[in-house]
Structure 1
């Protein structure tokens, strides 16, 4: 009689434990993706058919270098005289829907090789402090006519610009997180018209040490053109 009672008690305990485990597992695993959220991945590559890109420079204030192979931002010299370079970039963001939120946006660029010979010195990317700043442009501009003298208004406010640190060992492909900037010009949280971005050295000074950052423009072969890699999200 005692043996039967003991076995019954053990069976009951095992049943309860099994039920507890089953109940616990019935809540897990949680679904990996929220069925109420639709994600989309989009690549937008710079192209001469849209507003494109160009660099401007203070030494020749009425000229736009929109046909250059490169975009240049620098505290540099021209014929031995100090000058400043800035670049302007614009991507066509019309494929981003108004009900989509930009969850991630990466600007991908291909940097200029150190040994390249062209309108800038071969050692222009060798500098002490290559920190550059991306700023939201506040009004429209045209790559064919933009110059230092008629460059558009841009913002250096903390929420409308961003500083990026460039290492001394510059890699051939570089990626920059521009999510917060692009959110303001496209998608669900859009606040401003899309007039593109102005890129300049974070601290502009017409004196040494030389600082510069050079990368391929929309005029380069297709694989080297600047492009955006985006992750978009829509709540159903």
Structure 2
């Protein structure tokens, strides 16, 4: 039997409406990288044991278990609590960051956010003059580095510099200075300047800070390091009543 044209049009319209009203598939914003390096994506990832066992909800139906130690990495979208912690740090609320970071670290360390949380905690501790505690925070984060492994290493160097632990930090600085990565090398020169400054060798410190400005062109990777070095060099030159601070301040 032939379907009349108006009926065919009506059927098509109803089918289109059903498709339009169908709920879109949830975005797969979580993932686990297993021991073989294979990436498994899903719509939800949750911690099912304090030791690090995970369960990945693939699509609302299939669920994959991952035992602690049987995966390389895992990640969920940035939790709101972590966003709040980042905002607190940006606003200079360092005591609040230190107060809340430890609990959040334990909560999210297996879900991709241990490293970033520990880095915030360590930086806040440095800002409050507690380099020994900062060193512990950075070292803790290195167990769950995620995407901030390099930041944690630089944090460890900063803590050791503030602790004036030359014996431990010098080999790390030497390796960074020889690095092909501009950010590491620039950071190493700036850190050596801070070490000299701590030792009251102001002229030598200024030279290290100037190396950062002269050897490394401004870029997103080194802009923060350059401006910190510039500020420190200017402050020391003013302290020494050296009028060349004006040249350093405008040095490109």
TM-score by length of 1: 0.30
Instruction: Specify which structure has the higher proportion of helix.
Output: 2
**TM-score after normalising by structure 2:** 0.29
